[in-house]
Each structure stands twice: as C-alpha cells, then as structure tokens.
Amino acid sequence: MPFWTAVDGKAQDPKRESRFKVSIESLNNAEGTVWYAKTFAKPQATVKGVKHRYLNHQFSYPGSVEWADCMVEFIDPTDPIDAAGSIAQLLTAMGYQIPQDGKDLINISKRKSVGSLGSVSVSSINDEGEEIETWTLQQPWVTKFEWGSYKYEGDALLSLKLTFTYDWATCEIKNPGVDPVSPAKALSQAEATDSSPFFK
C-alpha cells in the first residue's frame, strides 16, 4: 500500500532530506555524530562505458565503476568545539607541514589521510530517530578544505565544507520488514541477499 494511503499503525513516512545524521570519526561528539553538519551529498556511482566499433556499427559495454566525491557542509560553532580549528588539525594530521627546519621531508600519505579522518557515514533516520539507511565511505580522505567566506552584508551562520574522495561506498538498509529490492530480483535470491558486499 502506498505511503499516502496507508492509515494503519504500521505506516511509515517516506525518507526526508532533513532527517539525517552524519558521523565522521575524528569530528564526532560523545554520541557519535557531527551535530553541526548542515548538508551531506550522498555517494554517486558512474559506470564507465567501453565502445567497440564494427564496420558501420558501434556497440557499448559497461566498464569500471567510478565513485564521485562527496561533500559535507558544517556550521562553525565556537562552543563546545571550534569546527574551523578541528578541520585545520585534520590537514596537519594528513601529513601537511609548513616549510620549517626539521620537518621539510614530512609528506601527506594515504595511510595518514585515511587514518586521521576515520570512518565517514551518513544515515537517514525516521521520526523516532532510528537509522533506516546508512551509507559508509570506504577508505575516505579529504581532498578539499573550505573555511567559508566573510561579507558585511550577510548575517547567515558561517559555513565550512569538506570534500571527500573514497575507493567505494556501501549501503545498509536497516528498516525491518522493508524489501530494498527491484533490480536485484533479476539475480537469484541467494545472490541478492547473501553475496552482495555493496547493498545489505
């Protein structure tokens, strides 16, 4: 039964763009969330195509999967943490050092970049605050730091942005009793439920 006609006690709202929580291990509070997150762009996957030409014909085949960068936007609170300072510390933890004696040979590495950031995920929540869908970036690291901009004409809260790149993403559906399938039904039930590391 569609959500707009369901009236029984089991009816649930559709997912809403304003019902979400962000978790970035190195920036989380004690509850495991980044409470000052403002927006989070969910993962996007592009299947690259390979073309084959034969006489007057051209045929296309699916190739590798490419995951697009994700961006998270924060407000910049001053209490109990300073987000601008925390983000600046991330850049240092990745291995970036300004030129100075004794540290000229220190470099950024993937090991330090991934390790200093920690796990990154975004979850859709329902009206009870329960997670019903969670996207997790695998081996993420920050590719762009934005500390916002000032202007005398504005009164909006100052915003900061981080852009992540990652190797792949996984999605976990946690809504009990809800079937996440459609294209997966083209596969055997065993393949769709037991052997897919991406969609759980």
Arithmetic mean of pLDDT, 4-14: 71
Which contacts (CB < 8 Å, 24+ apart) does range 151-157 have? Answer: 157/75, 157/76
Rounded Cα–Cα distance for residues 123 and 40 (Å): 10
Res 182: pLDDT: 54
Selection from 143, 138, 140 nearest residue 96 by Cα: 143
What are the structure tokens assigned to 43, written together?
A: 């993962």
| CB atoms near residue 24 (< 10 Å) | 26
For helices 110-117 and 83-93, angle between their N-to-C axes, nearest 10 degrees:
150
Delineate the domains of the chain, giving CATH numbers in brackets: 20-194 (2.30.110.20)
pLDDT tens for each residue of 127-186: 889 999 999 999 999 999 999 999 999 899 999 999 999 999 999 998 665 665 555 555
Cα distance between residue 198 and residue 171, in whole Å: 6
Dump pLDDT digits (tens) for 11-64. Answer: 778 899 999 999 999 999 999 999 999 999 999 999 999 999 999 999 999 999
What is the spatial distance between Cα 133 and Cα 174, in angstroms, rounded to a whole number?
Answer: 6
